[in-house]
Amino acid sequence: MKSDHREPSKPFHIQRKRLGVVKYVKGEGEFGFIDAEDFREDVFFHNTVWQGEVRGIPRQPLIGAFVEFEIDEEYRTRENKLRATVVRLTDRPMGKKLTARDAPHLIIAHHPKARRKRPTWREETSTKPPAVSADDVANRPPTKDAPQAPPEIGPTGIDPGPIGSDHGPTGDPHTD
Per residue in 80-120, pLDDT (tens digit) is 888 888 888 887 777 666 566 666 666 777 777 777 666 67
Higher local confidence (pLDDT), 164 or 27: 27
- Which helix or strand (DSSP H or E) is residue 77 part of? helix 73-79
Give the pLDDT confidence score for residue 14 in this predicted structure.
Answer: 65
What letter represents residue 13's amino acid? H
Task: Work out the pLDDT band at 28, boundaries 50, 70, 90.
Answer: confident
Nearest 5°: CA angle at 122, between 121 and 123? 100
Give the pLDDT confidence score for residue 133 in this predicted structure.
Answer: 66
Average pLDDT, the chain: 72
Are the CB atoms for 71 and 84 separated by under 8 Å?
Answer: yes
Q: What is the pTM assigned to this prediction?
A: 0.44
Task: Work out the pLDDT band at 144, boundaries 50, 70, 90.
Answer: low
